[in-house]
A and B are shown apart, each in its own frame.
Chain A
C-alpha cells in the first residue's frame, strides 16, 4: 500500500508540483466549522481500446483522463467541484466553489498521514503496456479466425479489446491519504450467423483486474470466440418464447444479474436512508427464502468489481446482505453510513473525479446450496431454463425489475428441450427471492463483463450465483 501511495503521488501530484503543504492549504480552504467531512480525490486514467470488425483492425482509441474532485459535506448537504487542470490555483478555486454550502470558517491545520499495510487485490502494472501492440493485434486476429473457422454459418465477427489503468489518491479531512492503482481488461466477441435467410447474433467475453495476458492464458480469448459462435447457432434454432408466469431455473454465474437488480440496488444505503427503497426499514425481516444467503464482496482478488480500497479510501470488504433469507444490512459509503449511524462497508464508488461517490455494488453473489443442478432441472415439469442474460433494470421504489434472456431453453418433464428466443423477465424484488425453492451447489462468478449504471455513473461490477429454481416469474414471450 505504501508502495501504491508512492506510485500515486508520483503519477498525480509530483508532475503538477503539488506538495503536502499544498494539499493542506486546499483542505483548509475546503473545511470550516460547519463542514462535517470533506475529501480531495485525484485521478489519472488511461484507456486503450481496439476493434476488429469485418476481418480487419478497424479502430484503435487511446483515452487520457485526469482531474481532481473536491467535496465538502455539511449535515445532509454536499458541495462539489472539480478541475481537470491540476495546479494549486485551480484546486483552491474548486475548494472555494465546493464549500459554498457552508459559510466560511477557520479551522486548524491537519497533519497528513499515508495509510498503509493493505495487500493490493490486483497487480499495479499497466495493462496497456502488458503486450506489444503487434501482439494485441495478433490476439484479435486469432479470435476472429477461431470464430470464422468454428462454423461456415458465421457471417460477421466483431472483437473488442480494452485495457484501462486507473490511479487514484484520496485524502479525507483528517489528513488520511490512501491510494489505489487499478488495472482492468476486457475482451468481447460478437458474431452474426446466417442460415436459410435467418440471421441471429450472440456475444461472449470476459475480463479481470489484471493485464492482457489474461486472454492468452488458458486460451480464454479463443474460448470467448467459440462460445459466441455456439450461442449464435443455438439462437438460429430458437422458437418463440412462451408468455406468462412460469417456473424458471436460472443457470449459475452471469444470471446472478437477478440478485443485482432484484435486491442489490434496493439495498444501497442512499435509497434506504431516504426511505425510497422497497427494502427501506426492513433489516431483520424475512425477504428471501431461507435457502438464500447473499453477499457483496469487494475483496476478491482480481475480480472486475473488486476494490483494494473504495473511492473514499475504505478497504474493500465482504458484506452480508441477506443471510438465510433475513435482511442483514445495506451497502454503505461514508456519507450515508454517517447519517444512518452505521459503518461504511467500502461501497463508496464514483465513475471518476467528476462524479460524486455513491453507495454502489462490487461483486454481488449468492452462496451455494446443497442441490445438484441436475436434480433441480429434473424437478421441473414445465418451465424455462435460462442460462444467459443481456442486462437488466430496476425501479427500487416499486421493486419491479427486469432482466433480458439471451440464451434459454424450455424444460419439459425435467428435460431441457428447445431453445427459445430472447425475452424479458419481470418480477418484484422483495417477492422473487421468497419464491426460490432450490439452490444448487455449483456457485459460479460471472466471466467479468458487468457494468452497472446509477445516476448517470457507470462502474464495473461482478455478479454470481449457483443454479436457482424460482417457482414463478413472468416471462415476456410472444407464444400464448
Chain B
C-alpha cells in the first residue's frame, strides 16, 4: 500500500528534473507519505475511528538569487506539474536576494546514521480500542470524583519521506510515531476540573502503560479541585517539569537566526554573553536513537550534530539555517526546520526537595495563553498550580497570572530539578525562578 522508498526517490528526482527543464538554476524537493489509525474511546465506548492517510510534496526552486515554492497533497502528474510551474512563476516575481539558495554542497550529510526511528505498530482497531479503554478505565476507577471523561485516544502513524536537492543530495528514511493520551474530569460540589496525561514514542513498545497514563490523568484532575485565587504579590515560582519545555522554547526562539537578523529578539547580539547562571548547560542532540525530534540531516540536507547552546551559562551558538547564516555572515548550524531534542542538565534535587528549599512560593503546573513578547522578553501568562508554604503544598490555585521578563527569569534561575522523566522530545526537570509577579484577587 505504502510506496517504497525507491518510488519516493523517483518522484523527487522527477520533480528536480522538471524544475531544471523549466529553467531553475537550483531546486530542492521533499515528498512524504504516511498512514495510520487514531481511535478515541469515551465513557467506555468507542467514539471515533479515524483512518489517516497523508501525502504531500513540496518544492523550492531558485532562478539565480530568486526563489519560489509550492506544495501539493495531490500527487497526480498533472498536479505535480502545476506545482512546479507555479513555484517557477513565483520565483520570477520574488526579489533578488544575495542570501538565498541551497546550503553549501560541502555540508550535505554523507553516510548518515540510522537513528532507529521506524517501529510500525501492527495494531487492529479492536486492540487499539482495548488499549484506550484500559487507560480511560484506570482513570475512572481511581476515584469516584472522576465523574466524566473527554476520552482516551490511541494514535499511531507510520510513513516515509525523501528530501533531495540539485547538489545531488538524496536522503530519506521511514519514521513512526505513537501516542496514547487520556483526558478526564473531576467533580466535587460545584467545582469541575479537567486534566490530561499522555505518552508519545517512536517505538510503541516503549509507551507507558495505559493504566499509568489513565491514573496520572485522574490524579492531575483531582489535585486541581477547589482551586483558589491568590492575592497579588511577588514570590518565587517553580515551573513543574512538564511545562518547563516552554521556557526552553522561549530561549530557542530568541536565538534563532531569523529573530537575530530581523532584530526581533530579546537576546539580540548575545553570542558569548552570560544568559543564565554559570552552572547552566543546555544542549541539542539531533542524533539520539529513537528520539522524537531526531534527524540525521536538516531540511536542507545539512548533516546535523549534537552541540551545546548554553555552556557555563553563556550563549555558545545561534540556531541557523543557511539563509539566516548568510544574513549574519556565519555558517549554518544544521537547524533548518528547527531544534531537535533539547535538554538542560539536571541538578541534584527532586521536586519535593526543591519545594522544601523554596519554603514558600508558587508551583505552576499549567499555563494559558501566548504571553511572551519575543522582542522585549516581557512575559505574562495565565497560570494554575499550587501554593507552597513550609516546603509543602498547601492548596491548589487558579485564575492567576504570572509575569516577568524572560531575560530576568533566565538570570534568576535558582535550580533545575532531576525530575526530568517527561514525555516529548525535550528533557528538563522543574525550573525554580527566584521571583515573579503574581496577579490575582
Binding site for B on A (CB under 8 A): 53-54, 56-67, 76-85, 94, 97-98, 100-101, 133-134, 136-137, 155-156, 158, 192, 194, 199-201, 241, 243-245, 274-276, 278, 354, 356, 390-393, 395, 397-398, 400-404, 421-428, 474-480
Contact = CB atoms under 8 A, between A and B. Distances in A.
Given A64-B73, A192-B263, A476-B401, A426 B50 contact: no
Given A244-B439, A276-B185, A424-B368, 7 more contacts: A76-B47, A79-B48, A83-B53, A199-B376, A274-B42, A398-B194, A402-B369
Contacts of B148: 274-276
Interface residues of B, number: 78
B234 A480 contact: yes
Contacts of A403: 369
A259 B375 CA distance: 29
Given A98-B51, A192-B264, A474-B399, A84 B74 contact: yes
Nearest to A155: B263
Given A395-B368, A400-B384, A76 B45 contact: yes
Given A80-B50, A424-B401, A477 B375 contact: no
Contact of A475 (B71, B376, B439): B439
A391 B369 contact: yes
Given A59-B67, A101-B49, A84 B73 contact: yes
A364 B46 CA distance: 33
Given A62-B70, A276-B185, A426-B400, A404 B370 contact: yes
Interface stretch (B89-97, B131-139, B412-420): B89-97
A64 B263 contact: no
B380 A477 contact: yes
Contacts of B72: 63-65
B437 A480 contact: yes
A115 to B, nearest CB: 27
B154 interface: no
B437 A67 contact: no
A136 B94 CA distance: 11
A66 B73 contact: yes
B262 A54 contact: yes
Interface of B: 42, 45-55, 67-76, 79, 82-83, 86-87, 89-91, 93-97, 125, 148, 150, 185, 192-194, 224, 227, 229, 232-234, 262-264, 268, 368-371, 373-376, 378, 380-382, 384, 398-405, 437-441
B90 A474 contact: no
B440 A474 contact: yes
B91 to A, nearest CB: 8
Given A65-B73, A77-B46, A476-B381, A82 B399 contact: no
Nearest to A61: B69
Given A76-B45, A77-B45, A476-B381, A393 B369 contact: yes
B368 A426 contact: yes
A476 B233 CA distance: 11
B232 A77 contact: no
Contacts of B51: 80-82, 94, 97-98
A64 B437 CA distance: 47
B375 A424 contact: no
Given A156-B263, A245-B441, A278-B192, A424 B93 contact: no
A474 B400 contact: yes
Contacts of A192: 262-264, 375
25 contacts: A54-B262, A59-B67, A62-B70, A64-B72, A64-B79, A64-B82, A77-B49, A80-B48, A80-B51, A156-B262, A192-B262, A199-B263, A199-B268, A200-B376, A201-B374, A243-B401, A245-B232, A274-B148, A275-B148, A397-B192, A401-B368, A402-B381, A426-B399, A476-B381, A476-B439
Contacts of A199: 263-264, 268, 375-376
A398 B193 contact: yes
Contact of A402 (B69, B97, B233, B382): B382
Nearest to A99: B49
Contact of B94 (A57, A274, A424, A426): A57
A100 B95 CA distance: 52
B105 to A, nearest CB: 23
Contact of B93 (A60, A97, A354, A393): A60
Nearest to A74: B46
Nearest to A53: B262
A140 B365 CA distance: 43
A78 B47 contact: yes
Nearest to B408: A478
A100 B227 CA distance: 43
Contacts of B400: 426, 474
Nearest 4 CB-CB pairings of A with B = A476-B401, A60-B90, A56-B95, A402-B382
B75 A85 contact: yes
Given A59-B67, A200-B376, A354-B52, A64 B83 contact: yes
B337 to A, nearest CB: 16
Contacts of B369: 391-393, 402-404, 424
Contacts of B194: 276, 395, 397-398
Given A54-B262, A243-B232, A393-B382, A423 B403 contact: yes
B69 A400 contact: no
Q: Which of B148, B368, B376 gathers the greatest number of chain A CB atoms within 10 Å?
A: B368
A421 B379 CA distance: 10
A165 B244 CA distance: 40
A243 B439 contact: yes
A390 B234 contact: no
A85 B56 CA distance: 11
Contacts of B441: 244-245, 474
Contacts of B404: 478
A64 B71 CA distance: 6
Contacts of B86: 62
A425 B103 CA distance: 44
Contacts of A274: 42, 148, 150
A364 to B, nearest CB: 19
Given A404-B370, A476-B381, A477-B403, A398 B192 contact: yes
B84 to A, nearest CB: 10
Contacts of A78: 47-49
A81 B50 contact: yes
Given A67-B73, A192-B264, A424-B401, A400 B94 contact: no
A44 to B, nearest CB: 9
A426 B262 contact: no
Contacts of A395: 194, 368
A84 B439 contact: no
Given A192-B264, A480-B437, A400 B382 contact: yes
A128 B46 CA distance: 42
Q: Which of A54, A243, A474 gathers the greatest number of chain B CB atoms within 10 Å?
A: A243
Contact of A57 (B82, B95, B376): B95
B193 A397 contact: yes
A200 B375 contact: yes
Contacts of B229: 474
Nearest to B49: A79
A65 B51 CA distance: 18
A274 B403 CA distance: 35
Contacts of B371: 402, 404, 424, 476
A213 B252 CA distance: 39
